[in-house]
Structure 1
Amino acid sequence: MVDTVTLYRAPTTPADADAIADWLRDRIGAEVRVRDRLLSTAADDDLPEELAAARVTDPYERATGNTMLGIVRYEERALDDPERAGGVVYDGLAVQRALNARLPGERGLDHLHLPLLDRVIGTWGDHDGRWHKRVAVLGQPALLSVPGLYEAPAKPEAYYEAKSKHALMTGDAPPREVLEAEIEGDFLVADDPRTTEALKGYALAAVDLLETGTAFCDDERCRLHDAHRQPGVVRAQLRDPPLCERHAARYG
């Protein structure tokens, strides 16, 4: 049974940890707290090198990491000034292990730590031999990647068709902002005002895993569903009904 949930802010993103905490309080019987950015408060002399070792350097190579001095220095600067971070995918399980060892206070499964991250995280797919970006890596702590919300789920097919057409005609990849303005459809973009709302279901899924031992929901209409395409994220997180019957009975 989860007695306490501690959410951690990601101040360089539009994700509102306090609003997510309020939403969780209405649905679970646990105390919900909010603290400052975990990557800042948990940072020590070794964390930059561990983050450097968790970097995905090749999307088709299982091994990770580049711990050259310059990369470690970059990670040090990014921990101090998160606005400087970006363009890197990290092994989500390695980041999870690194942060688990640095959790403040209780680490038992009755106290869920739930950091919102300003980093992109991924997991390795044994089925296809490549890395996949993720919105969430559940467990202790449960990691919710804010940029992953925009980057991990695939965009509508029209997005990729327009991108290919533009590249064929001009020889260059079109700016992301141009494509986002031209393509109609349901998908989230960087700094989307719907970010906080969309992350609420992932936060509840993290609680549900510790409560029930089940990761995510198979019902595509439920906020505990882990959609792999952007229209699916919009349907699950931003459309009615908010929860399937089973999870509505538990958390509604």
Structure 2
Amino acid sequence: MSVERVSIYRAPTTVADADAIEEWLAERIGGRVEVRDRFLRTDGDDSLAEAFAAARVRSPGERETGNTMLGAVRYEERAMAEPERAGGVLYDGIALRLAFNDALPVGERGLDHAHVVLLDRAIATWGDHDARWHKRVVVPGQPSIVSVPGLYEAPAKPEAYYREKERHALLSGGAPPREVLENEVEGEFLIASDPRTTDALKGYALAAVHFLETGEAFCPEEGCRLYDAHYQEDLIEAQLREPEFCPDHADRYGGG
């Protein structure tokens, strides 16, 4: 399947620069990329609030999702209208992708038109191997969802990060400021509103298009932009260091 057109949707409550991602992506796939406004405002309808409520993860080890009580739906309606108020909720990424597909214009659902939704919500997929939810940066498909919070939360940080966070919580009753963690924890990792966010998201946007064209979700080579990193250090190596791609994907997208 050849993708003839790509639409990237903004996440205005985040530092992600959709225009910079569009420019980078267009250089690697030969144009045919556009930026659209926030997906939940331009293509959403009232049913999406219910879809978000139904996709809520209840607990890390509980497969069943959802809370469609009136209060939860009202919260999701407010979060869609005022996205800066949303946060602290984890959602089933596959359920959201299905709901988003239903919200796409009927004439744009074909696999020749890739939709990449930059989302300001945390998403997860269920792991049958360990019966737990796992946070994700991207859930590829039509549309693909790229979670900006997932960039900071899904790949694991160094163990010292979690120890320092726990120690600070015991001493002060709260989480330490981000700059404290950065200064006191060795190792590289991204934090919320990190200035490297846009550059790190570029590879995930490409992975979404690559999946529709080839059926290949990710690359097994750790240093490639298309690698699905499970650790922050590996994410930084893949997304922020040269070369951009493994030899096979460099032939397709340039660089090397």
Q: CA-to-partner distance for each residue in 1:5-31, whole Å, 9 max, x for gaps?
A: 000000110001110000011110351
Corresponding letter in the other structure for 2:27: D
Q: 1:26 is paired with a residue of what secondary structure?
A: helix
CA–CA distance in structure 2, aligned partners of residues 64 and 217 of structure 1: 30
- 1:102 corresponds to 2:103: yes
How far the C-alpha of 1:111 sits from its partner, in A, is 0.5
Distance 2:169 2:75 in 1: 32
SS in 1 for 2:134: strand
State how 1:1-252 maps to structure 2 within 5 Å.
1-104=2-105, 105-166=107-168, 170=171, 172=173, 174-175=175-176, 177=178, 178-252=180-254
State the number of aligned residues. 251
Q: TM-score by structure 1 length?
A: 0.96
* Contact 2:168–2:176 (CA under 8 A) maintained in structure 1: no
Cα distance per residue 1:144-176 (max 9 Å; x no partner)? 0001100111001221232344456x3845425
| 2:165–2:176 Cα contact (<8 Å) kept | no
Cα distance in 2 for partners of 1:171, 1:86 equals 23
Structure 1, gaps ≥5 residues long: none
Counting aligned pairs with the same residue, the percent is 67
Deviations 1:106-126 (A, max 9, x none): 111110000100111000000
Deviation at 1:185, TM superposition (A): 1.9
1:78-134 CA distance string (max 9 Å, x none): 000000000000000000000001113411111000010011100000001110110
> TM-score if structure 2 supplies the norm length?
0.94
RMSD of the alignment, in Å?
1.4
Matched-pair contact (CA < 8 Å) for 1:3–1:30? no
Secondary structure of 1:46's aligned partner: helix
